[in-house]
């Protein structure tokens, strides 16, 4: 019985990996052909709009494919190495990745440190975790808004300004749960966050009050 389960698991793993890999080639072909069309001298304004829509859709599918590959890797325990990690350094790197959006929207970032928080974990998973959390706090923010990150002995609280949210529950961590059509809001980011938290035995909670959104991450 156990052997059959392992075999089915491996078959599903290979199927997921092969499917994701096979999607890369046709997406690349579509993108290349659309970019070649843009070089035509006889395009109308309507043609440009349609081609732009094609390129945005291809980019969205490519990001979605990468996200699904990442979820598969997390569930298949492909991140097993652990080391002592300075959490502030990881968060600072994640903030740097969002520097352009932070500057464009004039978002203020504040890190409050109760201690020099260290954790024994997988660096890749922690980087992906905070990349998604910081990105989420910035993408769903408002102009002249803020992000406040509080490091405590047993966890981290990320608070950000934003628009009111009716989904004040755990459904936000479900896959594809997004009403936003933007490329950077695929509905996978918080699902990836939840998968990482489950893998690392972290607890994560979301709450909101009016225009204030809070994610609490319990590390122990």
Query: Do 38 and 118 fall into the same domain?
Result: no
**pLDDT tens digit sequence for 56-104:** 888 777 766 776 676 777 776 767 788 899 999 999 999 998 999 999 9
Q: Strand 108-113 vs strand 83-86: parallel, antiparallel, or unpaired?
A: unpaired
* Residue ending a domain, choose from 75, 91, 112: 75
Same domain, 139 and 202: yes
CATH number for the domain spanning 119: value is 3.30.565.10
What integer best gives the mean pLDDT of the chain? 80
Considering its fold, how many domains does the chain have in total? 2
pLDDT at 118: 86
Q: Which residues contact 57 (CB under 8 A, 6 or more apart)?
A: none
Give the pLDDT of residue 82: 83
Asked if 90 and 44 sit in the same domain, the reply is no
Q: What angle do CA 71, 171, 21 make, to 5 degrees?
A: 20
Full domain range(s) for residue 39: 2-75
Residues 89 and 55 in one domain: no
Of the residues 75, 97, 131, the one at which a domain ends: 75
**Does pLDDT of 212 surpass 50?**
yes
Contact 196, 186 (CB under 8 A): no
Q: State the pLDDT at residue 176.
A: 45
Do 71 and 87 sit in the same domain of this protein? Answer: no
**Tokens 């740097």 identify what position?**
96
Q: Phi, psi at residue 112, to the nearest 5°?
A: -105, 120
Q: What are residue 45's phi and psi, to 5 degrees?
A: -60, -40
What's the CA gap between 76 and 21, in Å, rounded? Answer: 17
Q: How many residues make up the chain in this entry?
A: 220
| Residue 130 confidence (pLDDT) | 92
Rounded to whole angstroms, the Cα distance separating 207 from 218 reads 14
> What gap in Å lies between CA 127 and CA 87, rounded to an integer?
9
Q: In the structure encoding, which two tokens stand for residue 103, read together?
A: 């500057």
Nearest CA to 72 out of 28, 4, 19 is that of 19
Q: Higher model confidence: residue 165 or residue 125?
A: 125
Helix (H, G, I), strand (E, B) or coil at 18: helix
Confidence bin at 40 (pLDDT 50/70/90): confident
Same domain, 144 and 212: yes
Q: Do residue 38 and residue 92 come from a single domain? A: no
Query: Which residue in 72, 74, 30, 29 sits closest to 51, CA to CA?
Result: 30
Measure the CA–CA gap between 102 and 23, rounded to whole angstroms.
33
Q: Are residues 157 and 134 in the same domain?
A: yes
Overall average pLDDT of the 138-150 stretch: 94
Of the residues 19, 49, 75, the one at which a domain ends: 75
Do 204 and 136 fall within a single domain? yes
């Amino acid at each position: 019985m156990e052997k059959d389960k392992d075999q089915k698991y491996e078959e599903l793993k290979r199927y997921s990996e092969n499917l994701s890999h096979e999607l890369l080639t046709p997406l690349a072909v579509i993108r290349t052909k659309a970019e070649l069309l843009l070089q035509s001298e006889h395009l109308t304004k309507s043609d440009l709009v349609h081609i732009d829509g094609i390129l945005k859709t291809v980019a969205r599918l490519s990001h979605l494919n990468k996200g699904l590959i990442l979820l598969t890797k997390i569930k298949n325990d492909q991140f097993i190495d652990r080391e002592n990690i300075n959490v502030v350094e990881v968060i600072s790197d994640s903030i740097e990745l969002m520097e352009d959006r932070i500057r464009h929207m004039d978002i203020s970032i504040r890190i409050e440190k109760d201690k020099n928080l260290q954790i024994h974990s997988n660096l890749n998973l922690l980087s992906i975790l905070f990349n998604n959390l910081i990105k989420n706090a910035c993408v769903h923010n408002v102009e002249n808004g803020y992000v406040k990150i509080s490091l405590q002995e047993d966890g981290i609280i990320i608070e950000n300004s934003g628009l009111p949210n009716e989904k004040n529950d755990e459904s936000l961590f479900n896959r594809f749960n997004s009403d936003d059509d933007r490329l950077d809001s695929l509905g996978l980011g918080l699902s990836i966050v939840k998968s990482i938290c489950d893998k690392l035995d972290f607890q994560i909670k979301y709450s909101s009050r009016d225009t204030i959104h809070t994610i609490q991450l319990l590390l122990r």
